[in-house]
Structure 1
Amino acid sequence: MGRYRNPVLPGCHPDPSICRVGDDFYLVTSSFEYLPGLPLHTSTNLVDWSPLGHALHRPGQLDLGGLASSRGLYAPTIRHHDDTFFVVCTVVGPDDGGWAGRTGHFVVTARDAAGPWSDPVWIDGVGGFDPSLTFDGDRVWLVGTEPMAEPRWRGHTGVWLVELDPGSLQPLGAPAVIWEGAMLGAVWAEGPHVLPRPGGGWMLVAAEGGTARDHAVCVAYADSITGPYEGDPGNPRLSHRDLGGTAAIASVGHADLVDDGAGRTWATVLATRLTEGADGLLGRQTHLVPVGWEERRPVFAPGIGRVGEVVEAEGVPDQLPPAEEFGDGFASGRFDAAWNGVGRHPEEFASFLDLGAEGWAVSLDGGAEPSSLAPQSFLGRRLPAADADVTLTLELPGPHMRAGLLLRTSELAHLELGLNGAGRVSCVLTDDGVPTTLGDGQLNGLSRGEAVELTVEIRGLGLRAFVDGTFVVEADTSPLVPNPASGFVGVWVGPVAVGAPEDRVRVREVVITPR
């Protein structure tokens, strides 16, 4: 009997999909507008996960430049077939279509999940989002979600299925709707996976209720992969929708299942964590749930029926304790797998500097304002804990630049503790696109290249900002909380540089300490 703590992937890791190859498990999650995209993790025991890289890991592989937050890379699925890994995903653009990049479903492949991954193979003639692949012998099927052409209620979607040519991965016909939700009037039947059912036949696992408090996991069964599918009479099979605002875990849904090779089944699901009844800054995270079987029907978290914060289960070891601190002084000369840029790769705006006896630094080119859709110079990573201290050490920027520490939910919602070339410090909260200066001050006697330490102490939705250990301001970060109305993406944190591309600022170190 082992004991582990959820989430098994902390920080904004929504829409998890999982597969097993031999003794190793592989997991992919959504990444929206961030690049490199589609982060991959690997594990040998399901509870301790290590970053492996990204399915979209190099410039030129796929363009996301100019996309607004909460668009981009939606709900990938990872599968392994014929000695090859497949990741299928959707690029979702703006509702008005006003974006020059390519949208739709694509597949990337690799022999080794660590890469390199192929360029995208685009799947023509199929709309919607949340795609998943099913391999049945030498046949390949694509399942996904799309709003119904003639909706009978708000949020009425259909789960469709289409066979693909196994060589070209192009549709062999028109998609056919196989599911419209377990409940009459159910909103957003989505996130589907078609999986073999124990004992024969097929099982459709899908989310519904929308990816917020009413989220749920529902199941349906069919003898043929093309249907008809009959809903489980106990639907939803897993949900926290009835627990109210006092629950610690909410918005449970978007399940994928995997067998562990030893006769046990597990599900990965997304869920949010509540603090005093309110959603926090981290967004949707990856949680692990044991699954039993009764009469060929899945039972999620047997005997409990909920996603636990601490779970005791057979088949997993005691989980290793989380790292107490992350620190990057950039001495490796490369960006680790957790660093991202908005719509472009870090290598496109940041470079490494060997400062000799002074160590290493990253040089950030000047970029657009954090509220802009133009190319930004934000080197961010997922905020890993609801309570955390983040310290950035950077040099005083040039006279025409501003640089600092950014907490980013989107271009419309972010908080910046910034420093300009004249030594002026300001803490600015942007809420729904409107900036408000919460506090400012002047650092005197600094010279170009002198190091300054910027720190934010995050405690739930409260924040305290410091410069070189001196308190600057206290802030309420509620405007940064992600929600379906304003955006799906949790908070990323890291250094930002604003100015002309030829202007540069040196970042010495980033330290993130969960509390």
Structure 2
Amino acid sequence: MTTVSNPLLPGCYPDPSVCRVGDDYYLVTSTFEYLPGLPVLHSRDLVHWETVGHAVDRADMLDFAGIRSSGGLYAPTIRHDGERFWIVCTLVDPTDATRGGNFLITAADPAGPWSDPIWLDVDGIDPSVAFGEDGRIWMHGTRLAREPQWHHQTEIWVREYSGTEQALVGAEHVIWRGAVNGAVWAEAPHLYRIDGRWYLIAAEGGTEFHHAVSVARADDVTGPYEGNRANPVFSHRHLGRGVRVIGAGHADIVEAQDGSWYAVMLAMRAEDGSHYPLGRETFLCPVAWEEGWPVFAPGYGVLPESIEVPWAGDDVAAGTWQPDDRRSGSVASDDLRWTSLRELPEEIAVAQSDGTWQLAVRAESLADAGTVAFLGVRQQHADVDVTGVLDMSALAEGETTGLVVRQSERDHAALQVTRNADGLLVRAVHRRGDQENLEAARDLPMAESVRLTVRARGYAYELVCGEECLATINGRELDAASTGGFLGLWFGVFATSHGRQPRGSVRIHDFGYEPTSML
């Protein structure tokens, strides 16, 4: 037996989708405005996961210009048709509306390369795909109800897809509007053909505290669908805010090699019942079948802290970085955890032979919804030290670099280091909405490099220059529960010329991620 600890994937890995091909599992999650987009993770046991590539990893695949924070790539689904992998996803809020919406990409190898997008002529979000036993392909997704009976009512549609025509064909069928009268945001649909029936698993309640999972079934893919009388069949909302894990929902199920079943879904670790700086994370849940219906977490009805899966292996905290693990410590430039904003990392920085990055200064600042000079990684632990040793010898006078804890362009906390004629100015700032608050400032003598650290301890984020803590930021003011949006926090390095013509660059000499606990 192997014991896996939840969350399966800590940090901002929301909206998970999973499929199995033989003995191999593949999982994808949302990435919003960050690139490369849609990480493809591989596992042989549902416990140990490795990122093998990203489905959106070419500059010409999608246009991210002007994508707002918490826009971008929403809720992918991954499936296999017997020959190729399929991912269907939504690009939300591009500047050019003709290059947004629902799309399909395919690949023979999940590590890539993935095809250019095939755009689907349908509105809404959360697309999914199912393959019938007769070879027919069924796309489905969610959108705001055409004739809503209440605010935020949505509807789930299904329509046939022609691989030959690369288009939706035939009639559209609305099959679900939620299980509960008055339900909002019925979304994240997945259809499955199991034992001669079609099953629909969908979320409702919104991807926050009231999130839930519902299930329905039908003899025909187009319905009518019979809802489970126990709907919603899974949620944490009835537990109140005195629990550590909230917002469970957006489930996708998979059958294991031995015939057992599991679900992946998102949830949030909120130590105070409300705030979750690490964002929406991926959790694993056992599933049983009783009287023709899936039962989530049978016998206890909540996401377990740990699960035993019937395969040999070592007990691990799955997906986490351990002190003796290669994923703790310095993050080299070839590490697949690096992401950037609206452009690929290699478009804004040059990877050096020694594993460092040379980050070119850009005119845009962290407060701009543009192509900012930013390289970062997800926060995956509540208690962690993140350190950047920045070589500023190529930074021009008046330009600024630093280390940031980022939620969005409107909400972040940063250590800013500006090179002046006679030295360095270090500022600790906290942006909340339209207001940037100066927490502390220090003048330092001219130096080629500076060591900056963010010490995260639960909800406290200490901004440290050298050995001096300049400010402590309340993480509750940075998380999505306070700021809006769908993201967890990122740590990263930035460089800006404050709107002027950029001239310099900064070498990220070392970027360290050191968890101080396994929370």
What TM-score results when the alignment is normalised by the length of structure 2? 0.93
* 1:110 corresponds to 2:112: no
Partner residue in 1 for 2:230: 234
Matched-pair contact (CA < 8 Å) for 2:246–2:273: no
Residue 196 to residue 316, structure 1, CA distance change in 2 (3 Å): farther
Counterpart residue number, 2:85: 85
Does 1:67 pair with 2:63? no
Q: What residue number does 1:410 align with?
A: 408
Which residue matches 1:491?
Answer: 489
- Is residue 440 from structure 1 mapped to residue 441 from structure 2 by the alignment? yes
Q: Report deviation, 1:314.
A: 3.8
| Structure 1 pair 353–155 and aligned structure 2 pair: CA distance change class (3 A) | same
Work out the CA distance in 2 between the residues paired with 1:337 and 1:104: 26
Question: Does the aligned pair in 1 maintain the 2:411–2:483 contact within 8 Å?
Answer: no
CA deviation digits over 1:176-216, x for unaligned, max 9? 2100000010000000001113x321100000000011100
Deviation at 1:380, TM superposition (A): 1.3
Q: Which residue of 1 aligns with 2:329?
A: 327
1:370-389 matches, cutoff 5 A: 370-389=366-385
Match of 2:347 in 1: 348
Q: Which moved more, 1:271-280 or 1:185-194?
A: 271-280
Distance in 2 separating the partners of 1:454 and 1:485: 25
Cα distance in 1 between the residues matched to 2:312 and 2:230: 28
Q: Tell whether 2:26 aligns with 1:35.
A: no
Give the superposition deviation at 1:167.
Answer: 2.2
- In the TM superposition, structure 1's runs of 4+ consecutive aligned residues that sit over 4 Å from their partners are 98-101, 315-318
2:139 corresponding residue in structure 1: 142
C-alpha change, 1:42 and 1:163, in structure 2 (3 Å) is same
Contact 1:47 1:316 in 2 (8 A): no
Superposed CA offset, 1:69-91 (max 9, x none): 11111100000013100000011
Among 137, 151, 155, the alignment partner of 1:154 is 151
Give the structure 2 partner of residue 293 of structure 1.
Answer: 289
- Tell me if the contact between 2:158 and 2:222 (Cα under 8 Å) persists in the aligned partners: yes
The aligned counterpart of 2:129 is 133
| 1:175 Cα deviation after fit | 2.4
Gaps of 5+ in 1: none
Q: Is the 8 A contact 1:390 1:511 kept in 2?
A: yes
Select which of 158, 162, 180 maps to 1:183: 180
Q: Partners in 2 of 1:467 and 1:70 — Cα distance?
A: 30
Deviates more, 1:467-476 or 1:150-159: 467-476
Alpha-carbon offset, residue 297 of structure 1: 0.8
Q: Which residue identity does 1:208 align to in structure 2?
A: E
| Secondary structure of the corresponding residue to residue 421 of structure 1 | strand
Q: In percent, how many aligned pairs have the same letter?
A: 42
C-alpha contact 1:389 1:456 (8 A) present in aligned 2:
yes
Displacement, 1:477?
2.3
Aligned to 2:14, what secondary structure does the other structure show?
A: coil
1:484 and 1:226 map into 2 onto residues whose CA distance is 40
Three-state SS of the structure 1 residue aligned to 2:170 is coil
Per the alignment, residue 23 of structure 1 pairs with 23
| Structure 2 Cα separation of the partners of residues 365 and 33 of structure 1 | 20
Distance change in 2, residues 1:329/1:248 (3 Å): closer
Aligned amino acid, residue 512 of structure 2: V
State the shift of 1:337 in Å: 1.6
Output one character per residue of 1:230-284: Cα deviation in whole Å (capped at 9) or x when no partner: 1001111110001111111110000001011211011000000011223221110
Which of the residues 471, 474, 477 maps onto 1:476?
Answer: 474
Contact 1:47 1:319 in 2 (8 A): no
Among 203, 220, 223, the residue aligned to 2:199: 203
| 1:400-424 residue CA offsets vs partner (Å, 9 max, x unmatched) | 3100111111111111111111311
Pick aligned residue for 2:117 from 101, 108, 120 = 120
Report whether the alignment pairs 1:363 with 2:386: no
One-letter amino acid of the structure 2 residue matched with residue 469 of structure 1 = E
What does residue 58 of structure 2 align with?
58
Match of 2:450 among 449, 452, 455: 452
SS at match of 2:76: strand
The answer to whether 1:514 aligns with 2:496 is no
Q: Structure 1 residues 474, 29: closer, same or farther in 2, change over 3 A?
A: same
Cα distance per residue 1:334-370 (max 9 Å; x no partner) = 532211111110111100234xxxx553111112111
Shifted more, 278-287 versus 320-329: the winner is 320-329
Please state whether the residue corresponding to 2:346 is helix, strand or coil: helix
Task: Decide which of 391, 397, 402 is 1:395's aligned counterpart.
Answer: 391
Q: Match of 2:47?
A: 47
- Cα pair distance change 1:196/1:262, threshold 3 Å: same
Q: Secondary structure, in 3 states, of the residue corresponding to 1:306? A: coil
Question: Structure 1 residues 34-43 or 172-181, which shifts more?
Answer: 172-181
What is the CA distance between 1:478 and its match in structure 2?
Answer: 1.9
- Equivalence for 1:466: 464
* Cα shift readout 1:142-193 (whole Å, capped 9, x = no counterpart): 0100001121111100000000112233111342210000001000000000
Unaligned segments of structure 2, at least 5 residues = none
Cα distance, 1:47 vs. partner?
A: 1.3
How far apart are residue 41 of structure 1 and its match?
0.5
* 8 Å Cα contact 1:389-1:512 kept in structure 2: yes
RMSD (Å), alpha carbons: 1.6
Deviation at 1:42, TM superposition (A): 0.5
Task: Report Cα offsets for 1:434-456 as digits up to 9, x if no partner.
Answer: 21011111111x23xx2211001
Give the structure 2 partner of residue 503 of structure 1.
504
Please, what TM-score do these two structures have when normalized by structure 1? Answer: 0.94
Asked if the contact 2:373/2:494 (under 8 Å) is kept, the reply is yes
Task: State the AA in 1 paired with 2:258.
Answer: A
Change (3 A) 1:176 1:213: same
Partners of 1:438 and 1:475 within 8 A in 2: no
**1:178-327 mapped onto 2 (5 Å cutoff):** 178-197=175-194, 199-315=195-311, 317-321=313-317, 322-325=320-323, 326-327=328-329
